[in-house]
Structure 1
Amino acid sequence: MRLFLLPISTRRTLIYCERAREAVQGAQQPISERVINKAASTWAQWEKAERGWQKRLTVYGNQLFMRIPYEEWGLKSIPPATRKRLQEIDQGKLDFHCLYPGAFMKPSRVPEVLKALATERQGYHKRKMWTSLAWMPLTIPFTVVPIIPNIPFFYLCFRAYSHFRALYGGRLLEHIMEKNLVKTTDSQQMDQLYTAGLLHPSREVSRESARPAKDAIQEVARTVQGQIKEGKKEVLLLQRWNGKIIAEDFHLPEMEIEIERAVEQVETAMKKTDEAAAQAKSELDDSRSQHTTKVDKAER
C-alpha cells in the first residue's frame, strides 16, 4: 500500500492511502463495502435529480461533507486495523511505502508527522463515534414521516461509521509505525508537482509548462523558508487547482477531492488566524493610544 504525505501548509499535513485492490474476482464483497457502494450509487442518482427533496438533500449534504475535517477523511482512506489485517501485517504480507516531497518536508520530520497523524485524533474519533451511536435511538420518531427517509438516523449512521473508520485507520497507522514497517521515500515527482503549483498561477499554465528543474525546486523551497524566517508563521504549499494535477500524475482520481477539501479548510483556518491576529493588534494599538492620551492629559 502506498501512503502519501501531503503538506498542505508548513504546519498542516494530509495523509492519503492508496489501498491495494482487495476484491478477488468472483468473491463476495464484505457487507460494509456493499452498503457503502449502494449508498454511493443512491446518492449519485439523487444528485442527478433536477429538483425535489433528493436534489436539495445532496446539495446540503455535499456542503456538509466539505466541512468534515480533512484529517478525518485522510485517516478513513487507511484500511481499518482489524485483527486479521494486523496479523497479515505482522506476518509480512502487506508492505507500506510513504511518499513525501522532500524539498518541502525534512526527512527527519516524516516519522514524527506520521505518528502524530496516527494518534492525536484517536480520542476525538472514539468519543464522537459513541456519541453518534447514542443519539440514534432518538431519531426513531422520524420514521413516521411519509416518503422521505429517516435522514437524521442515516446521518448519524454515516458519522458513526466515519469516526469508526478514522479511529481504526489511525490505529493501523500507529501499529505499522510502532513496528517500523513504513518505508519512506523522498519523491522527486512530488517535489516537481509542488513547485509547479507554487510557480504557476493556474492549472492550465502548469499543464503547458515544463516540469521544474532541480534548481527551480530548490529556489522555491528557499523562498518558502525565507517567508517563515521573515515572520510568516504559516505558508500555504498547495493550491486548490493543483490537486487535480497531482491526482492525475499518480493515477489516483479519488485523491483530487481530498486535496481540494484539505486546501480549502486550511485556507479558511489561516484566514481566520490572520483576521484574529489583525484584530488583536488593532485592539492593542487602540489601548496604547488611549493610554498615551491619558498620560498627556495628566501631564497637562
Structure 2
Amino acid sequence: MKIMAVPLARNGNPARVPYLTYISYTTSKGERKRPSSLPLSQRIMVQASNAWSNLGREDSRSLFDWKRRIFLLGERIMDRIEYEEWALKGIDQALGPSIRSLMLSRRRFPDAQQKRLSLLYPPSLVSPSTVLESIRRMASRRQPHHKWQLLYNTVGIIVTSPLFLVPAIPNLPTYYLLWRLWSHYRAYTACKSVSTLLEQDLIDLAPDAKLDDICAQHEDGETINLPDDWKLFMGPRRARQLMDAYELPEQCRVDLMRASMQAQSAISKNVS
C-alpha cells in the first residue's frame, strides 16, 4: 500500500504551502482484497455505496423520479464536503489496521526492522519538506474537528431517530447523519494514524517520475492561472491519466475533481 501526494494548485512563492490532496492505492493485485475478505464494517459500506449508486442510475424508475432526485441532491452535498476529509478516509482504509499492528510489533520486537510507508510526490512541483509539512498540518488541524463532529452527529442521530416511526417515509436525516458519523470516524482515525507515522519517523518520501510527468505537463490546456500568482494543475485529463497509470478506481477521479474545484474556490475567496 502506498500514498501519493497530488498537487492541486501551487503559488509562485515557494514559501507558501501548495494545495495537495492524497490518494492511497494498492501496489499489486495481490494486495487487493476480495469483498468477502473485507471486515464486516467495510462490507456494509460497500453494499451501502452500491445501493446509493443504484439510486442514480438513469434506467431507475420511481414515483416523481424521487430516487434520482435524492441521488443528485446527495451528490451536491458530497461535493461540499472538504476534500481533506475524502483524502483522510482513504488513508484510514489503507492504514488503520496496519498502524495498530505496526505499533504492537514494535513493542514486542523493538530491534526488528520496521515496515515503512512510501509517500510518492512529484519532485518538480513540490519539495519533500513541503509534502511533510502539508500532511502534518492536515492531520493536526483536522483531528479536533472530526472529534467534535463525532459528538454532534451522535446527538443528531438520537434526535432524528424517532422519524423511523413515521410509516412509508424514509428517514433520510438519520441515514445521512449515520453516514457522516462513519465518515468523521474514518477521518479521525486517519489523523491519528498519520500523526503516529510522523512521530515514529516511518514515512519514506519517494520522488516519482511517472507522477511528475503527469502533474507537470505544460501547454495541455488544463493548467489555469489564478489570481495572486496561483496555478491550478488538476483537471479531468490529468485525473484520467492518473487513474490509468496507477490503476485507480473511479472514485479517485471523482475525489480529485472535487478537490480541484474546492482548491480553486478557496484561492478565489482568499484573494477577493
Q: TM-score range by the shorter chain?
A: 0.7 to 0.9
Return the alpha-carbon distance in structure 1 between the equivalents of residues 72 and 100 of structure 2: 42
User: How far off is 1:192 after superposition?
Assistant: 0.9
8 Å CA contact 1:88, 1:94 repeated in 2: no
Return the alpha-carbon distance in structure 2 between the equivalents of residues 22 and 249 of structure 1: 17
Q: Which structure 2 residues correspond to residues 181-196 of structure 1 after superposition, within 5 A?
A: 181-196=202-217
Return the alpha-carbon distance in structure 2 between the equivalents of residues 147 and 19 of structure 1: 43
Equivalence for 1:179 = 200
Return the alpha-carbon distance in structure 2 between the equivalents of residues 137 and 166 of structure 1: 22
User: How far off is 1:145 after superposition?
Assistant: 3.2
Distance 1:108 1:137, change over 3 A: closer
User: How far off is 1:132 after superposition?
Assistant: 0.4
Q: Which structure 2 residues correspond to residues 141-180 of structure 1 after superposition, within 5 A?
A: 141-180=162-201
Return the alpha-carbon distance in structure 2 between the equivalents of residues 77 and 199 of structure 1: 31
Q: Which structure 2 residues correspond to residues 18-29 of structure 1 after superposition, within 5 A?
A: 18-19=25-26, 21=31, 23=33, 27=37, 29=38
Question: What letter is aligned with 1:133?
Answer: T
| 2:127 aligned with 1:106 | yes
8 Å CA contact 1:5, 1:13 repeated in 2: yes
Q: Secondary structure at the match of 2:22?
A: strand
Distance 1:23 1:187, change over 3 A: closer
Task: Report sequence identity in percent.
Answer: 23
- TM-score w.r.t. the length of structure 2 is 0.82
Question: What letter is aligned with 1:101?
Answer: P
Return the alpha-carbon distance in structure 2 between the equivalents of residues 19 and 76 of structure 1: 15
User: How far off is 1:77 after superposition?
Assistant: 0.3
- Of structures 1 and 2, the larger Rg is shown by 1
Return the match for 1:13 from 6, 20, 30. Answer: 20
Equivalence for 2:51 = 42
Distance 1:268 1:50, change over 3 A: farther
Distance 1:88 1:19, change over 3 A: farther
- CA offsets 1:117-171 (integer angstroms, 9 cap, x no match): 2221100011111100111111123223333321111100011110100010111
Q: Secondary structure at the match of 1:9?
A: strand
User: How far off is 1:22 after superposition?
Assistant: 6.5
Equivalence for 2:80 = 67
In terms of fraction of residues, the more strand-rich structure is 2
Q: Which structure 2 residues correspond to residues 68-107 of structure 1 after superposition, within 5 A?
A: 68-79=81-92, 85-90=98-103, 91=105, 94-107=115-128
8 Å CA contact 1:240, 1:264 repeated in 2: no
Structure 2 residue runs of 5 or longer lacking an equivalent are: 11-17, 106-112
- TM-score w.r.t. the length of structure 1 is 0.75
